[in-house]
Structure 1
Amino acid sequence: MDFSVVDLSDEDRAFQRELRGFLGAVVTDEVLARDRATGENFDESVHLALGDAGYLAADYRSEAEGGFSAVRRRIWELEIGRAHTPWFHWGTTAMVAHTVERFGSPELRDEVLPGVVSGRLRLCLGYTEPEGGSDVATCKTRAVRDGDDWIVNGAKMFTSNAHNAHYVFLIANTDPAAPKHKSLTMFLLPLDAPGVEIQPLRTVDGDRTNITYYSDVRIGDRYRVGDVNGGWTVLRGALDAEHGTVQRDDDGLQKIAVMTEHITLMAEAVDRIAALLGTPDAEGHRRVDDGAVAHRLGRGIARMEAAMSTPEMFGRVAIAQTMRDVSPDLMDLLGAAGALPTGTPGAADDGGAEYVFRLAGPTGIYGGTLEVFRNMIARHALGLAPPVTAAR
């Protein structure tokens, strides 16, 4: 792994200053406070401003198509994270839009893609079902052909940002008699269609996600993405992007792994906690001078740095597991005040450690559980055979 520093050109430094100034102007304290209160990880005013300024189009397109260069894309990703931009919705939207661009009909592409790069259309994922867990191929949501239309019935769990989106990238079962990977079809279903119901669901880290219900939702065949019963082929590329298992560029500038934004929040909290532990009390004593405190803090920092430097799906596991293991230690080092949430009088670090602790659990679930990723590593990276189920 190459840890060398990239020497930015004058033009790229100017781009960084411009972007940092832009984000400083639009990602205001009010935006951040509203995002903490709602847990939506999305702010429409910020999203539209980024679209109007051309940043979304530049991020969506490749360099050959007029988008960001590799260096500027990395600057973009870093500055977006450093500004704590309510942002996760864009990654989903762009991922689905690229899939529609590849597999969708010309009519659907014309309907959706211009609005995506302008920020005026947003897309979300409809994969997981209430009883389906991480195996999206066990889909029970049904789509039945009716002339030139499809009738959709079912429910999806964790449809994050559905209430801010215009379409859901929905996986449906179109042939229950077929093997599960050959019975699926993908649709880009308009969320304003009659029969769609969106119900909010709060997670332990304060985020808002949704349960979405589909009751006799009628959509035209133009909203089908890919072949009938060929949904697994369409879905695989999107899943690989979500899991971070797509083929990496060789320039070394891309994100190390998915979920790096989450452990960046831990890194910021660790910096503040280390400063608190190193501040003398009224008698001149510093908690970090206690050998046990220094050892636990140093061990957590070492694990965090290792996780932040671990690539691909290995990094996905290392990041989530490190957050789960280290965040309780951080709270314990701060004492009882470390368990108080943001905005509570007396909260250590204004609740930073407590928030990271709550964020750590879902981080190991979003985009697939840690168990799924460990199985992927075992089978695809280590070449191990699947476990044998004992006969009963």
Structure 2
Amino acid sequence: MDFSVVDLSEEDRVFQHELREFLRTVVTEEVIARDRETGENFDEGVHMALGDAGYLAADYRRAADGGFSAVRRRIWDLEIGRAHTPWFHWGTTAMVAHTVEQFASPDLVDDVVPGVISGRLRLCLGYTEPEGGSDVATCKTRAVREADGSTWIINGSKMFTSNAQNAQYVFLITNTDPAAPKHKSLTMFLVPLDAPGVEIQPLRTIDGDRTNITYYSDVRISDRYRVGDVNAGWSVLRGALDAEHGTGERADDGLQKIAVMTEHITVMADAVDRIAATVATPDAAGRRRIDDGSVAYRLGRGIARMEAAMSTPGMFGRVAIAQTMREVSPDLMDILGAAAALPTGTVGAADDGGAEYVFRLAGPTGIYGGTLEVFRNMIAQHALGLGRPDYSPPR
């Protein structure tokens, strides 16, 4: 990996300054507090402001089509994270929209993509099912085509349909041929969430985030909402899954996003900065906790692990980030003492609840987009060339 410093041109420095000022204006303390309270990971005012300013379009498009250059895209990713922008769902929307552009009918592309770029339309994922776990190919949600071929009827349910309450469409994986092998029975649809028969029920995770269970009861949609060929959904889905997992081809310039979930460990890095300042501040008796050897050792070890995780690319970084957050956050809370268990906004909370929030965030970070066990198996098979895991009981 190339750790050399990138020299910014004067134009790129101006871009970075303007972006920072823009984010400082729209991502206010009130926005961040409301996001922590609601767990939405989305703010419509911020999202629409970014769309109106042209930032969404620049992030969505390739450089050759008028989008960010590689340097500006890297600046964009870093500044968005540093500002604690309620942002996690834009990546999903952009990923699905790119898939729609590639596989859907021209009229559906014309309906969806301009709205995505403006910020008016948001898209979410309908993959996981209540009994399906991380293997989305075991899909039981059924889509049945009516005799005239123009309409589909969908029945089923999906778990963890995050941001459905703020989205207009769900990218839904369905089973259209139960008799076929599981990877040849799937068809993808972009289902309008205001269609009759769609029900969205909120579900809270341990870190306070809101996700959803979505139900589809005799939902009738036109064939124009189909994305890709019938029973060819796995081919449509693979590219989107690679993007979600961070396993796609990486550019040689080293400027692309290091790994999936870097936004989460950026939150941890900010908390660590505050914790380091806290333990280095003398108490009423003039004592500093950092002068205790065990405190200095554990804090230093945690920072070293965090820096290593933040520099680990691809699916390796996906595992390193989540595992580091899970293992280091309890140490951070222990260093601060009992007051570290108090959440943000509570009187007496150590570091204003930063360590407590990271501790709660760490658990789901190892589940989003697939569990750590799934990613470790992917590393074993695709990076190390090992065989498929055998989960059968020992003989």
Q: TM-score, normalised by structure 2?
A: 0.98
Corresponding position of 2:213: 211
Which position in structure 2 is the counterpart of 1:124?
Answer: 124
**Matching of residue 60 in structure 1 with residue 57 in structure 2:** no
Query: How many correspondences in the alignment?
Result: 392
User: Gaps spanning 5+ residues in structure 1: where?
Assistant: none
CA distance in 2, matches of 1:184, 1:243: 20
What residue number does 2:300 align with?
298
- Residue in 2 that maps onto 1:359: 361
**How big is the alpha-carbon RMSD for the aligned residues of Structure 1 and Structure 2?**
0.9
Aligned to 1:16: 16
Give the aligned residue type for 2:133: G
1:181 aligned partner: 183
| CA deviation after TM superposition for structure 1 residue 313, in Å | 0.3
Name the amino acid aligned to 2:145.
R
Q: Deviations over 1:248-277 (max 9, x none)?
A: 111111111000010111111111101111
Cα distance between partner residues in 2 of 1:45 and 1:286: 43
CA distance in 2, matches of 1:387, 1:33: 43
Conserved 8 A contact 2:377-2:389:
no
Aligned mates of 1:33, 1:391 — CA distance in 2: 50
Per mean C-alpha deviation after superposition, the further-off stretch among 361-370 and 33-42 is 33-42
* C-alpha distance in structure 1 between counterparts of 2:389 and 2:209, whole Å: 35
Which amino acid in the other structure matches residue 77 of structure 2? E
Q: What is the rounded CA distance, in whole Å, between the counterparts of 2:59 and 2:114 in structure 1?
A: 14
Distance 1:30 1:351 in 2: 16
How far did 1:390 drift? 4.6
2:232 counterpart letter in structure 1: G
Q: CA deviation at 1:391?
A: 7.5
2:317 equivalent in structure 1: 315
What are the residue-to-residue correspondences of 1:48-127 with 2, within 5 Å? 48-127=48-127
| 2:207 is aligned with 1:240 | no
CA distance in 1, matches of 2:141, 2:216: 8
Runs of 4+ with deviation above 4 angstroms: none
Q: Distance in 2 between matches of 1:311 and 1:132?
A: 28
* 2:155 and 2:217 in contact (8 A); partners too: yes
Q: Which amino acid aligns with 1:80?
A: I
Counterpart in 2 of 1:193? 195
Amino acid at match of 1:57: A
Residue 332 (structure 2) pairs with residue 327 (structure 1): no
1:375 matched residue in structure 2: 377
The Cα offsets for residues 210-257 of structure 1, whole Å up to 9 and x where unpaired, read as 000000000011100001000000000000000000101111111110
- Percent identity, aligned pairs only, is 84
Residue aligning to 2:228 = 226
TM-score for both structures, normalised by structure 1: 0.99
Specify the alignment match of 1:34 in structure 2.
34
What is the letter of the counterpart of residue 248 of structure 2?
A: V
Partners of 1:391 and 1:272 lie apart in 2 by 48
Structure 1 equivalent of residue 282 of structure 2:
280
Secondary structure of the structure 2 residue equivalent to 1:88: coil
Matched with 2:152 is 150
